[in-house]
Amino acid sequence: MDNFYNLAPTEFSAAVIAQNLILVFFLELVIVYVYKKTHQGLSYSSSFVFTFVLVGVVGAVVMMVVQHNLARAFGLLGAFSLIRFRTILKETRDIAFLFFALAIGIAVGTNNYAIALISTALITPAIWLFYHYDIGQIRNRLGHILTFSVTGTYNIDEVRALLKEHTESMELLQARAHGEHTRYVFAIQPKETAEPADIIRMLQGNKHLTDLELLSEEGGVEY
């Protein structure tokens, strides 16, 4: 029976392996909590949040398997090279969180507990401060994304003239033709005296405009 448990000898005892997995799981949950509380985008995915935990745990397992064995490292590299990741992350912030989760897993897997604990304890509050104080924002008031469709040969300059009266700035982001319809996307910055709802009501009076939508840029909107 003792030989059965020693079929795959390792430098890590069962207690150390369990300790590493429990620790990395706890630290990944801390990262997930901070990610959820500071998330501002429109592309939130619960499966992606689960990936944080899984990536960290797998990273720890990989490092415990590799240890200081160069042959194992090349073997795992060859195995992982067969995997193709085709998921596109719209938020660059998500990529940073993914690497953060992986780095913590690697630190725990190599028994660098101090690095894992101190890094988590210092980086997560820094992320929270960036979020709380809006560090990186270039304006105080939110911009908006205006989208609408027009039919036929309607002169879009008439819409520009209407928007100019109620906005500080506007920029055409996209114009896409679909048969007889053309879809326009504008980035607008309403004046302090103008309410977004008033702009929508003003444009709704134009019979040539359909499918009107006004989205806040809070958290980031990509086109």
Task: Tell me the pLDDT tens digit for each residue of 7-20.
Answer: 344 556 888 899 99
Number of H helices, E strands in the chain: 8, 4
| pTM, 2 dp | 0.62
Is the Cα torsion angle 31, 32, 38, 39 positive or negative in sign? Answer: positive
* 2-24: b (≥16 Cβ within 10 Å) or e: eeeeeeeeeeeeeeeeeebbebb
pLDDT for the residue numbered 48 = 83
Q: What is the mean pLDDT of residues 75-84?
A: 58
Task: Read off the pLDDT of each residue in 186-191 and give the average, rounded to a whole number.
Answer: 84
Query: Structural domain boundaries of the chain?
Result: 2-132, 144-216
The pLDDT value given to residue 223: 43
In terms of CATH architecture, what is 144-216? 2-Layer Sandwich (3.30)
Of 4-13, 80-89, 104-113, 185-194, the least confident:
4-13
Strand 144-151 to 209-216 pairing: antiparallel
